[in-house]
Amino acid sequence: MPELLIAMDIQNLQIAQQIVVSYLNDTEQKNEAFDFYKYKKLGDFAIDSLELFEMIMKVEEVLGLAIDDSVIDSDLTIEELTIKLISPD
């Protein structure tokens, strides 16, 4: 059972990463993979708050999660953000 939970978490993390990268690529007008963004901070991007909330809502919709908006912190790296999106506690 724990292996299944871990596999589901990894799958959810990968989906969250894809969603976040899609929004960042739109903002930056780029076509980069997650590894390009993972160590950059959220505050490094000119993404506005409406786009951030849309991104969170998309993750919630796709993964069936309820995410507290307080997970958004401009000091988080993109990797840290995606982890918080799937496990906000």
**Which pLDDT tens digit goes with each residue over 20-51?**
999 999 999 999 999 999 999 999 998 888 88
**DSSP annotation of 68:** -
Predicted local distance difference test score (pLDDT) of residue 44: 93
Q: What is the pTM of this model?
A: 0.88
Average pLDDT over residues 45-68: 91
Is pLDDT of 58 > 60?
A: yes
The tokens 């960042």 sit on which residue?
24
What angle in degrees, to the nearest 10, is found between the helix axes of 78-86 and 49-63? 40
